[in-house]
A = this chain, B = another copy of it.
Amino acid sequence: MQKEFLEVKALYRNSEEYIDKTVKIAGWIRTSRISKSFGFMEVNDGSFFKNLQVVIDEKALDNFAQVSKLAISSSILVEGKLVAVDNAKNPIEIHASKIIVEGDSDSSYPLQKKKHTFEYLRTIAHLRPRSNTFSAVFRVRSVVAFALHKFFNERNFVYAHTPLITGSDTEGAGEMFRVTTLDMENPPLTKDGKVDYSKDFFGKEANLTVSGQLNGEIMALAFRNIYTFGPTFRAENSYTGRHASEFWMVEPEIVFADLEDNMDLAEDMIKYVINYVLEHCPEEMAFFNSFIDKGLLERLDNILNSNFKRITYTEAVDILIKSGQKFEYPVEWGCDLQTEHERYITEQVYNAPVFVTDYPKDIKAFYMRMNEDGKTVRAMDLLVPGVGEIIGGSQREERYDVLMNRIQELGLNEEEYWWYLELRKFGTATHSGFGLGFERIIMYLTGMSNIRDVIPFPRTPKNAEF
């Protein structure tokens, strides 16, 4: 039956083809203004951000009385003539000759036309995708996901599915969720009274991954260029608007490639995605610019026209110290940069995206490539105006001995890393990669300020509803 019903998107995009013809659509009533014998209904069919106006007239509709009483959110099948109207905002409308009520609704529908807070809308996550804001956000999310796949596919990257359940906390990047099938009331115990994980489903402790990177390196050292794109987890009790317990990450990994290649790739990717979303979601982006974040389009345009700056951490610290600016967290060489510092650099100093490179080894992960100074590693963070850090990456330590020293120095369990070390024994190669928090880029592109509002069904501490 679906083929009968044209998509509203097609009617807008190719209206010449359909004007003055009889068409059928199917959708949900978003608003209606009905007088005694005549009325207008805005119908959204989900295929497009914009509604299509349906004109109903007692003279033309057998069931005018029934239709005129329909509550908002009712679904209807409409047949009628598509008519061109002299209205820049809504250049087409349907004059209905037949309407079938598919599913009615009533006044208890929680998403009435009045303005709701985002907090309230989170409690009706099963309905909020039908609102203007969330239909725009989740469509942009989908379009950006496709843009990323397309970007990497055009460059011959292999899409690698890395596992979510992991037998080891190898990256040590954060608190993890345990995955288990043991009876929590009566777990099997070892002789010394500890939980006996050898009896658990995987024969050992298992957790949800915090990063696919280490597995991604395996794949890159076979395929040259790969990327992962999948869910990632953090069991952190953060109640901020920037942290979720389950989120998606994009992690490219490139071989015979150094940090400069890595930065080039990140810059190309960000610009590609911005261009793609501006081209494919003009209605949604205009909506965000008007109602969510007034400077959005200008900010994105600015990014497209910038050459991303590249400075070292040491230079960044110098700039911050010499700035005379009062920061909440004082700056000295060796400290981690806080959001206030990052934003000062990218917004006040450069007003452009900035790569900061070569961080002190003590504030970065064990696998980053040691520089000749013995103090810094070949890391990079990309800072963007309005947000701060959006990408973190590095050139990886490809030298077996240096990596082994670092693992021992940090007291990591080298047996856990046996295969990671072997990658450095059998044809090691210069390689680099980075991670992009997918929700971060969606927030950046839409102006939405809470991560709970860019994930259809967010998971956060004390919340796994829907």
* Chain A interfacial positions (CB closer than 8 Å to B): 1-3, 5, 7, 9, 26-29, 45-47, 73-75, 77, 102-106, 109, 125-127, 129-130, 134-135, 138-139, 141-142, 145-146, 149, 153, 156, 158-167, 175, 177-182, 184-185, 187, 193-195, 201-204, 206, 208, 215, 218-225, 230-231, 233, 235, 245-246, 248, 254-258, 260-261, 398, 419-420, 422-430, 455-459, 461-466
Contact assessment for B218 and A466 in the assembled complex, using a CB-CB cutoff below 8 Å: yes
Q: Other CB < 8 Å A-B pairs besides A1-B260, A184-B187, 9 of them?
A: A46-B220, A47-B223, A73-B426, A142-B158, A142-B160, A177-B180, A178-B184, A203-B463, A215-B457
Alpha-carbon distance A430/B4, docked complex (angstroms)? 14
- Asked if A5 and B73 sit within 8 Å, CB to CB, the answer is no
A235 to B182 CA separation, bound complex (whole angstroms):
11
Q: Is the CB of B459 within 8 A of A129?
A: no
Given contacts A126-B218, A231-B231, whether A201 and B47 have CB atoms under 8 Å apart is no
Q: Which residues of chain B are near A134, meaning CB under 8 Å?
A: 222
Q: Which residues in B have their C-beta under 8 angstroms from that of A182? A: 184
Do residues A160 and B201 form an inter-chain contact, with CB atoms below 8 A?
Answer: no
A219 and B177 form a contact (CB under 8 A): no
B466 pairs with A163, CB closer than 8 A: yes
- Contact partner, A245, options B5, B201, B419, Cβ 8 Å: B201
Closest to A439 in B: B161
Q: Which residue of B lies closest to A45 (CB)?
A: B224
Across the interface, A103 reaches (CB within 8 A) one of B104, B109, B428, namely: B428
Name the B residues within 8 Å of A428 (CB-CB): 75, 102-103
**A202, chain B: closest CB distance, angstroms:** 4
Q: A430: which of B102, B222, B420 is its contact (CB, 8 Å)? A: B102
A145→B227 CA distance, assembly (Å): 13
Contact B187 A218, beta carbon cutoff 8 Å:
no
Docked CA distance A234–B141 (Å): 28
The complex places the Cα of A77 from the Cα of B218 at a distance, in Å, of 20
Contacts of A162 in B (CB 8 A): 456-457
Contacts of A424 on B, CB cut-off 8 Å?
A: 103
B129 touching A218, Cβ below 8 Å = yes
Please give the distance in Å from A47's CB to the nearest CB on chain B.
Answer: 5
Query: In the complex, which of the residues A164, A178, A426 has the most CB atoms of chain B within 10 Å of its own CB atom?
Result: A426
- A223 vs B44: C-alpha distance when bound (angstroms): 9
The reply to whether A258 and B167 contact each other, CB–CB distance below 8 Å, is no
The chain B residue sitting closest to A224, CB to CB, is B46
A3: chain B residues within 8 A (beta carbon) = 261
Is A179 a contact of B181 with CB atoms below 8 Å? no
Among all A-B residue pairs, the 9 with the closest Cβ atoms = A46-B224, A103-B428, A129-B222, A167-B464, A2-B257, A126-B419, A26-B256, A202-B464, A203-B462
Query: What is the bound-complex CA distance between A130 and B222, given in angstroms?
Result: 5
Which B residues are CB-close (under 8 A) to A194?
185
**Are B257 and A1 closer than 8 Å at their CB atoms?**
yes
Q: Are A161 and B219 in contact (CB under 8 A)?
A: no
Pick the contact of A46: B103, B106, B175, B225 (CB < 8 A): B225
Contact between A256 and B165 (Cβ–Cβ < 8 Å)?
no
**A163 x B126 contact (CB < 8 A):** no
Q: Report chain B residues within 8 Å CB of A204.
A: 464
Cβ contact within 8 Å between A160 and B223: no
A426-B73, A429-B103 known; A135 vs B223 contact (CB < 8 Å)? yes
Say yes or no: A166 contacts B75, CB within 8 Å: no
A415 to chain B, nearest CB (A): 12
* Contact indicator B231/A465 (Cβ below 8 Å): no
State which of B77, B218, B246 has its C-beta within 8 Å of the C-beta of A125: B218
Task: Given the known inter-chain contacts A146-B159, A149-B146, please indicate yes or no for A165 contacting B464, CB distance below 8 A.
Answer: yes
Q: Which chain B positions have C-beta within 8 A of A420?
A: 126
| Contacts A1-B430, A206-B464, A224-B7 given; does A145 touch B165 at CB 8 Å | no
Judge whether A184 and B175 touch: CB under 8 Å: no
Partner of A2 from B106, B261, B426 at Cβ < 8 Å: B261
Shortest distance from the beta carbon of A300 to any chain B beta carbon, whole Å: 22
